Amino acid sequence: MFGLYLHIPYCAAKCRYCDFYSAACRGGVPDAYVDALCREMDRFSPCGSTPLRPDTLYFGGGTPSLLTPAQTARLIDAAGPVPGAEITLEANPETVSPQTLAAYRQAGVNRISFGVQSASDVQLARLGRRHTAAQSRLALQWAREAGFENVSGDVMLALPGYTLDEMNATLELLAEGGCTHISSYLLKIEPNTVFGRKPPENLPDDDAAADFYLAAVERLAQLGYAQYEISNFARPGFEGRHNRNYWECGDYLGLGPTAHSCMGGRRFYTPAGTAAFCRTPADYTDDGTCTAEDFVMLQLRLTSGLSLARLRREWGVEWDAKKRAFAARLCQNGLARLEGDVFSLTPRGMLVQNSILVELL
């Protein structure tokens, strides 16, 4: 598996909680930025300007739906994905129309991921989102009408003044809107954001946030979405292939400022700086090699878990008696499972994954 990630570092305005690398921009994505992405694809091309032929192509951001369909088509053509590749575009509900969605589909995008976040307009305004719940509903409907059979929706949990009613209304909005995949995240207050400088009132504490997460896992299962990763849930056959490749330690190339890559076990990234990226060939920064610790960490994000046989075979790492005793204690406490040689975390275990990893690594 080879995944290609194209970062689109532009947004109409910055949301109050967001620390992704993106800047507010007027108008759409400059053609100079699309030129720069094509230039970098050429640089990684195995031979001249032969396409990279990824198995998955992911437009992330930022707000990739600020790309015009023509810009999107140009980037897809330049990448030359293999037949049957998964091609995902992240979109904000207020940026799309029936026409643009049909044109993205025509350009080759076959999976669209909407940042819906909440069904409460008061909450959306508080977060600095520029859409309403009604716009999210319409965008989901238009996506289906445009022929998207694979539609994902993002939801944020444990928001200020959060209630189970808000959570359930949001999950139902996504399910009724035909989402085949749902990503759910707990709000995290990041330092370099508006919320970081002035946290909102009525934030749920850690225990309440954990309860919302567990309630979401349960409600999503009732709605027919099986959990396959800490934050990701899908109807059968609709797991995200691009992100799954990250967690399976596959090769991926990320292009654009702050995008990270791992190719043949070597990791590297592009430093921040959109203007510099447009002007001159990117200067990739070495980020070390992928280690057995990374493998354990990534595999334990997945409900399919960590195969201890694979850990031994591919990384030469054998769990000693101390680690096995720790794993057994986690199983007794309902935080993990050990089935054959596969060790996996339960949703409760996933909530304390970091502490578990400290012991295991």
Q: Which residues bind ligand SF4 (CB under 6 A)?
A: 11, 14-15, 18, 20, 22, 61-63, 92, 115
Of residues 92 and 232, the one with the C-beta less far from ligand SF4: 92
Cβ proximity to ligand SF4, 25 vs 311, nearer residue: 25
Give the CA distances from residue 101 to residues 61, 64, 134, 160, 257, in Å, rounded to whole numbers and listed in that order: 18, 13, 17, 32, 26
Contact 203, 167 (CB under 8 A): no
| String of DSSP letters for 207-228 | HHHHHHHHHHHHHHHHTT-EEE
- Which of residues 11 and 29 has its CB atom nearest to ligand SF4 in the complex? 11
Smallest separation, CB 141 to ligand SF4 (Å) = 21
Which residue, 11 or 300, has its beta carbon nearer to ligand SF4?
A: 11
Q: Which residues pair with 9 in a beta bridge?
A: none
H-only helix segments in the chain: 31-44, 69-79, 98-107, 121-127, 133-145, 164-176, 194-197, 206-222, 241-247, 274-279, 292-299, 308-315, 321-332, 347-351, 353-360
Q: How near is the Cβ of 15 to ligand SF4 at its closest, in Å? A: 3
Distance of CA 320 to the CA centre of its chain: 34
Torsion 126-127-130-131 (CA) sign: negative
Looking at beta carbons only, is 67 or 336 nearer to ligand SF4?
Answer: 67
CA separation for the pair 90, 181 (Å, rounded): 13
Q: Tell me how far, at minimum, the Cβ of 185 lies from ligand SF4, in Å.
A: 11
Closest approach, Cβ 23 to ligand SF4, in A, equals 9
Residue number with CB closer to ligand SF4 (15 or 336):
15
Q: What is the three-class DSSP state of 116?
A: strand
φ/ψ of residue 287, rounded to 5 = -130, 25
> Residue 11 Cβ, how far from ligand SF4 at the closest point, in Å?
3
Minimum CB distance to ligand SF4, residue 241 (Å)? 22
